[in-house]
């Protein structure tokens, strides 16, 4: 099975997750919003489902997909040290700028 990072490397899959952020959606809605053929959307949804990023529920003839947040915690944990580095760099820049004399003084 592909890792979360490999699955999310595909831009269309990230678009699907962005659409599902606002709530559960049927496949046909995703097809319409993405302007992709239904088989292509279904293929992406299958990969996302196998990676645990989305789950599906059947309602009569419709399949509704929703985002699963738990796997995204893995990404957040991996990004945390990089976010800390970025924040430290911005804090250092702020201190440097604060230490500079104002123009005209």
> So what's the pLDDT on residue 105?
57
Q: What are the domain boundaries of the chain?
A: 4-68
Kindly write down the DSSP assignment for every residue of 18-80, as one continuous string.
Answer: HHHTTS-EEHHHHHHHHT--HHHHHHHHHHHHHTTSEEEEEETTEEEEEE-SHHHHHHHHHHH
- Statement: the pTM of the whole predicted model exceeds 0.85: no
The Cα 7–Cα 10 span in angstroms is: 6
| Residue 1 pLDDT exceeds 80 | no
User: What is the share, in percent, of the chain residues with pLDDT greater than 70?
Assistant: 96
Digit-coded pLDDT (tens) for 18-61: 999 999 999 999 999 999 999 999 999 999 999 999 999 998 88
Digit-coded pLDDT (tens) for 50-91: 999 999 999 888 999 999 988 888 888 888 999 888 888 888
Does the domain at 4-68 match CATH 1.10.10.10? Answer given as yes
């Amino acid at each position: 099975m592909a890792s979360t990072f490999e699955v999310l490397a595909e831009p269309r899959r990230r678009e699907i997750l962005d659409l599902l952020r606002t709530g559960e959606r049927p496949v046909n809605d995703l097809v319409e919003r993405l302007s992709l053929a239904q088989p292509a959307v279904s293929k992406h949804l299958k990969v996302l489902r196998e990676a645990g990023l989305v789950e599906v529920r059947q309602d009569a003839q419709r399949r509704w997909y929703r985002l699963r947040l738990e796997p995204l915690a893995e990404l957040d944990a991996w990004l945390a040290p990089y976010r800390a580095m970025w924040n430290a760099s911005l804090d250092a820049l702020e201190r440097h700028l604060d230490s500079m004399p104002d123009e005209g003084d």
